[in-house]
């Protein structure tokens, strides 16, 4: 077997989940966000583990993601956050999935389907309070009500918004939360009595108690990344490989495609069997750091499709077959690696490729 794998620590996952429930208190429930294959961790295993911990609800982006969970025995409600098309309504209803609504046309279609099939369909209404992405615009809610109020076969089970800047802008976040509260009041005034009100992603959950309402939607924090400074979480994924070749090259040698790295001294290099086709981004060329022997070593030259090269001149006692951590230990967290190439942990986690087996601990 090619020695490149992602170790997924389910103990760390449950510790992070329990830490999350401590932060929100007993009255608030959790919709764990497991979209994009649980940010690369494997949605089935992650959801099964969280179901054991009595996670109340799950959130995914697409119907396919929801169906994967249903097929693997997840019984909890599953909300499809990025919306569905009308030809997916049938699958959604038959599998007891929860659609999100952000326009009246969709609600009419949902209502029509429910009427035809003599059923009631629950949905979550999404309100746009300043992300300017999906959602009914909060300042125009009243215009929509006249159209929604007559739809008797559908039930607004939840109302929610998404906060754009909870990690970086307190004033804007406070404004969004306040617009959301106003929207909820308007919705209640019209006679809707949703069971769930939610707005908090991980950053809001950690930094804004007033964003919790009665349901929170943590994603990245249950995977142990992007935590606020005072909140200790455990990294769940460790991306690992083993050295498959070691060699010494003289000063002036060019390394990898295009010769973007030129050795300025006699250099000891090691080759690792992981590349951009495994989700080790090509942006990490000449910028990435890996962890081995309790220190770090730089990625030199271009990241190839299946291989990278590291400089181990300064690292003692390196042998063929030694284990190397690409991210996820104390020397190189996924947040640190992401910061080296101007991205976020979310991206580096969710791009870990299909070719990389997940090994669950």
Ligand X SMILES: *Cc1c(COP(=O)(O)O)cnc(C)c1O
- Residues 138, 100: contact at Cβ < 8 Å? no
Q: Determine whether 196 is exposed, middle or buried from the number of CB atoms within 10 Å of its CB (0-12, 13-18, 19+).
A: buried
By CB under 6 A, is residue 289 in contact with ligand X?
no
By CB under 6 A, is residue 279 in contact with ligand X?
no
Q: What is the DSSP letter of 61?
A: S
Residue nearest to ligand X (CB): 219
Half-sphere exposure of 64 (CA within 13 A, CB side): 2
Nearest 10 degrees: Cα torsion 70, 76, 82, 83: 80
According to CB under 6 A, which residues from 136 to 165 bind ligand X? 162
Please identify, using beta-carbon distances, which residue of 183 and 201 lies nearer to ligand X: 201
Q: Among 42, 77, 194, 218, which residue interacts with ligand X (rule: CB under 6 A)?
A: 218
- The β-bridge relationship of strands 196-200 and 154-161 is parallel
Q: How far is the CB of 201 from ligand X (least distance, A)?
A: 4
- Look up residue 182 and give its two tokens: 């106003």
Residue 199 phi, psi dihedral angles, 5° rounding:
-145, -15
Residue 233 phi, psi dihedral angles, 5° rounding:
-125, 160
Give the relative orientation of helices 104-116 and 141-148 as an angle to the nearest 10 degrees.
20
By CB under 6 A, is residue 74 in contact with ligand X?
no
By CB under 6 A, is residue 219 in contact with ligand X?
yes
Stretch that binds ligand X, among 142-150, 214-222, 227-235, 327-335 (CB under 6 A): 214-222
Stretch that binds ligand X, among 144-152, 207-215, 218-226, 330-338 (CB under 6 A): 218-226
| Cα separations in angstroms, 20 against 8, 39, 205, 236 | 19, 17, 8, 14
Active-site annotation holds for 35: yes
Active-site annotation holds for 293: no
- Residues 296, 332: contact at Cβ < 8 Å? yes
Please identify, using beta-carbon distances, which residue of 162 and 240 lies nearer to ligand X: 162
Question: Which member of 35, 122, 126, 240 is catalytic?
Answer: 35
* Total binding residues toward ligand X, as defined by CB under 6 A: 12
Q: How far is the CB of 31 from ligand X (least distance, A)?
A: 8
By CB under 6 A, is residue 41 in contact with ligand X?
no
Please identify, using beta-carbon distances, which residue of 114 and 233 lies nearer to ligand X: 233
According to CB under 6 A, which residues from 190 to 209 bind ligand X? 201-203
By CB under 6 A, is residue 12 in contact with ligand X?
no
Question: Where in the sequence numbering do the catalytic residues fall?
Answer: 35, 257
Binding residues for ligand X (CB under 6 A): 33, 35, 81, 162, 201-203, 217-221
């Amino acid at each position: 077997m090619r020695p490149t794998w992602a170790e997924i620590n389910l103990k760390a996952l449950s510790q992070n989940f329990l830490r999350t429930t401590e932060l929100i208190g007993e009255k608030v429930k959790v919709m764990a966000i497991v979209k994009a294959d649980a940010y690369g961790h494997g949605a089935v295993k992650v959801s099964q583990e969280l179901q054991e911990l009595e996670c109340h609800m799950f959130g995914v982006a697409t119907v396919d993601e929801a169906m994967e969970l249903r097929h693997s025995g997840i019984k909890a409600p599953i909300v499809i956050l990025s919306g569905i098309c009308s030809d997916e309504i049938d699958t959604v209803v038959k599998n007891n999935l929860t659609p999100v609504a952000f326009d009246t046309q969709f609600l009419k279609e949902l209502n029509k389907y429910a009427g035809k099939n003599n059923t009631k369909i629950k949905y979550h209404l999404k309100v746009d309070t300043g992300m300017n992405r999906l959602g009914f615009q909060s300042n125009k809610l009243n215009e929509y009500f006249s159209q929604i109020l007559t739809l008797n076969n559908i039930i607004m089970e939840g109302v929610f918004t998404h906060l754009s800047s909870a990690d970086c802008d307190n004033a804007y976040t406070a404004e969004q939360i306040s617009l959301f509260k106003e929207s909820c009041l308007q919705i209640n005034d019209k006679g809707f009595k949703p069971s769930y009100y939610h707005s908090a992603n991980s950053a809001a959950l950690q930094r804004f108690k007033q964003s919790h309402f009665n349901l929170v939607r943590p994603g990245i924090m249950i995977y142990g990344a992007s935590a606020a400074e005072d909140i200790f979480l455990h990294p769940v994924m460790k991306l690992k490989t083993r050295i498959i070749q070691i060699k010494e090259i003289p000063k002036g040698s060019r390394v990898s495609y295009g010769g973007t790295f030129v050795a300025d001294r006699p250099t000891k290099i090691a080759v690792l069997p992981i590349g951009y086709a495994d989700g080790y981004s090509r942006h990490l060329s000449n910028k990435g750091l890996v962890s081995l022997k309790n220190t770090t070593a730089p990625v030199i030259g271009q990241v190839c499709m299946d291989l990278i090269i590291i400089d181990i001149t300064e690292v003692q006692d390196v042998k063929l077959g030694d284990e190397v951590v690409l991210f996820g230990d104390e020397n190189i967290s996924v947040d640190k690696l992401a910061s080296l190439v101007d991205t976020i942990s979310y991206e580096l986690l969710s791009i870990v490729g299909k070719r990389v087996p997940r090994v669950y601990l």
